[in-house]
């Protein structure tokens, strides 16, 4: 009897040991070295790791704004500031926006060379806010690791012209169900553009909780929601005093419309 119990215990222990990798089979390790290099002022980054080398050893003009949108494969993002010539009056910020029902969330300011900064989100805005005097560039690395689970970000557009217009969905027709798309508005030349919606056709309910368009502005070094709208509502024009804004569109699993148009200058 005793030997039978011992045998069964050893069998169960062996099965547990063999099954353990299955529990963690979707956990992604960090890349040993960054696999992408980005040198532009802002943009859309779809990568498991990378280095943003922006004007390293060079000058950045006063009042410059840049925003990089990171779409990573795994849940946790580790950021490491490798080098920096930024001043106290400048700011480099990490903003989590990886939640389906919310806008920009937790924010961290990156200040210390050699220090790790970790955010539990697949989707992160990396925002550079230069003060009223020229400054120097920086190098920032990121590494993705952890569970490789559901990705909520379905689309993105980086709008960097001093003026322009945009129609969604691109090419016309009706937008898709179950999307969360972000649009970053950050002119390549420092300015204070005004954002105007010229057409809106989005599924309606009283609180705009089914499908909706939301606008955000950068103020006091963080993103703040300005408006949420749906149906055919045209919101008031929005001036971006810090030269940086966001637009978020989300749809539920039923009923689509023809989207929206906006312009800025």
Tell me which CATH homologous superfamily contains domain 155-264.
Spermadhesin, CUB domain (2.60.120.290)
% of residues, the chain, pLDDT over 70: 90
**Which DSSP state fits 88?**
T
Could you tell me which CATH class the domain 36-145 is placed in?
A: mainly beta
Fold matches, 36-145 and 155-264: yes
Does the reported pTM lie above 0.85? yes
- Do 109 and 84 meet the contact criterion of CB atoms below 8 Å apart? no
- Give me the mean pLDDT over the 132-148 stretch: 97
Residues with Cβ < 8 Å from 212, sequence gap 6 or more? Answer: 202, 228, 229, 230, 249, 250
Tell me the pLDDT of the chain averaged across its residues.
90
What tens digit of pLDDT does each residue of 165-192 get?
Answer: 999 999 999 999 999 999 999 999 999 9
* Contacts of residue 183, Cβ cutoff 8 Å, sequence gap at least 6: 156, 157, 158, 159, 166, 168, 246, 247, 248, 249
Question: Domain residue spans in the chain?
Answer: 36-145, 155-264
Tokens of 239: 């001036």
Q: What is the pLDDT of residues 207-222, one digit of tens each?
A: 999 999 999 999 989 9
Residue 194 has pLDDT above 50, yes or no: yes
Q: What is the pLDDT of residues 62-102, one digit of tens each?
A: 999 999 999 999 999 999 999 999 999 999 999 999 776 67
pLDDT of residue 145: 97
Q: What angle do CA 201, 71, 156 make, to 5 degrees?
A: 25
């Amino acid at each position: 009897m005793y030997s039978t119990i011992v045998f069964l215990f050893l069998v169960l222990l062996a099965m547990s040991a063999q099954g353990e990798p299955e529990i963690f089979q979707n956990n992604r390790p960090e890349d040993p070295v960054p696999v992408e290099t980005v040198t532009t002022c802002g943009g859309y980054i779809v990568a498991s790791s990378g280095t943003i080398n922006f004007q390293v050893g060079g000058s950045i003009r006063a009042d410059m704004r840049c925003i990089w949108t990171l779409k990573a494969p795994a849940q946790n993002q580790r950021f490491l500031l490798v080098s920096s010539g930024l001043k106290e009056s400048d700011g480099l910020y990490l903003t989590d926006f990886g939640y389906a029902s919310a806008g920009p969330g937790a924010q961290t300011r990156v200040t210390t060379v050699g220090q790790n900064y970790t955010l539990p989100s697949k989707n992160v805005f990396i925002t550079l806010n230069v003060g009223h005097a020229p400054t120097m560039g920086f190098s920032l690395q990121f590494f993705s690791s952890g569970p490789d689970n559901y990705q909520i970000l379905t689309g993105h557009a980086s709008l960097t012209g001093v003026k322009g217009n945009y129609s969604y969905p691109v090419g016309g027709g009706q937008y898709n169900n179950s999307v969360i798309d972000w649009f970053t508005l950050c002119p390549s030349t420092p300015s204070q553009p005004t954002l105007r919606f010229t057409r809106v056709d989005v599924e309606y309910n009283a609180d705009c909780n089914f499908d909706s368009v939301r606008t955000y502005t950068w103020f006091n070094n963080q993103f703040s929601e300005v408006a949420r709208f749906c149906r055919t509502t045209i919101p008031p024009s929005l001036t971006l005093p810090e030269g940086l804004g966001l637009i978020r569109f989300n749809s539920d699993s039923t009923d689509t419309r023809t989207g929206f148009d906006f312009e800025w200058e």
